[in-house]
Chain A
Amino acid sequence: EAGVAQSPRYKIIEKRQSVAFWCNPISGHATLYWYQQILGQGPKLLIQFQNNGVVDDSQLPKDRFSAERLKGVDSTLKIQPAKLEDSAVYLCASSRSFSLGREQYFGPGTRLTVT
């Protein structure tokens, strides 16, 4: 079974520029998560999708971050415009459902550096 795929693996941009990350979850997984992991901290949930609907985006900075999962499979996370404090690793994870106890499988992440 193929794992969660993410691209690009690394991205360097200047502040105020835009950037987009892509995630392809494990086949058949209905739930998709985007996490932000700042250096030295644990991952923090940004947004959670169930199929193509948003379950929770309460911690997503909506003035600059957006995410979509139009066909209920792949997802993109966008930052526009980027700030220095957005430098982090962005992790995508998927699970079969959002029910209690369902294991989340993580991708390798995209490391973003904003200069």
Chain B
Amino acid sequence: GEDVEQSLFLSVREGDSSVINCTYTDSSSTYLYWYKQEPGAGLQLLTYIFSNMDMKQDQRLTVLLNKKDKHLSLRIADTQTGDSAIYFCAINTQTYSGAGSYQLTFGKGTKLSVIP
């Protein structure tokens, strides 16, 4: 099946940049996502990138996609204590039933800790 890998932990100092990395195996994925999960809360979509793009910037967030290496990264500039959370990389994969329907396959998440 499809596989999405992430490192489990990242610790940065407040004000520094954070870079969270993700690798995946399904080269047919056309949308790749970053979700944020705070304690006791559901998942919040942060940003996504279409597979024909190399980079997408959205305020403090920069997503880089290397399709050749199947590598996705999320950079958070000027990281704040409020950014402490678990960040999930997710790719869209076609469901087993096909029929043009797609599901998200998630990595295990990277826990970002921001040190004041």
Known: A42-B106, A101-B31. A108 touches B101 (CB 8 A): no
B35's nearest neighbour on chain A, judged by CB, is A106
Would you list which residues of chain A between 36 and 81 have a CB under 8 Å from chain B? 40-45, 48, 50, 55-56, 58
Q: Which of B50, B90, B92, B95 contacts A42 (CB 8 A)?
A: B90
Q: Is the CB of A55 within 8 A of B42?
A: no
Q: Is the CB of A103 within 8 A of B45?
A: yes
Per-residue 0/1 for B71-103: is the Cβ within 8 Å of any A Cβ (1 yes, 0 no)? Answer: 000000000000000001010100111011111
Q: Is the CB of A58 within 8 A of B42?
A: no
Query: Count of chain B residues with Cβ under 8 Å from any Cβ of A?
Result: 28
Q: Is the CB of A106 within 8 A of B95?
A: no
A100 on the B face (CB < 8 A)? yes
Say what secondary structure dominates the interface of chain A. loop
Q: Is the CB of B95 within 8 A of A48?
A: yes
Q: Is the CB of B103 within 8 A of A45?
A: yes
A109's nearest neighbour on chain B, judged by CB, is B42
Q: Is the CB of A100 within 8 A of B107?
A: no
Chain A interface bracket (under 10, 10 to 19, 20 to 34, 35 or more): 20 to 34
**Which of B42, B88, B96, B100 is the most central at the interface, judged by chain A CB atoms within 10 Å of its CB?**
B42
User: What residues of chain B have their CB less than 8 Å away from a CB belonging to chain A?
Assistant: 4, 30-31, 35, 40-45, 48, 50, 88, 90, 92, 95-97, 99-104, 106-109
- Residue pairs across A and B with Cβ atoms less than 8 A apart, 28 shown, are A41-B108, A41-B109, A42-B90, A44-B106, A45-B95, A45-B104, A50-B101, A55-B95, A55-B97, A56-B95, A56-B97, A56-B101, A56-B103, A93-B42, A93-B43, A99-B102, A100-B31, A100-B92, A100-B100, A100-B102, A101-B30, A101-B31, A101-B50, A101-B92, A104-B45, A104-B104, A106-B44, A108-B42
User: What residues of chain A have their CB less than 8 Å away from a CB belonging to chain B?
Assistant: 4, 33, 40-45, 48, 50, 55-56, 58, 91, 93, 98-101, 103-109
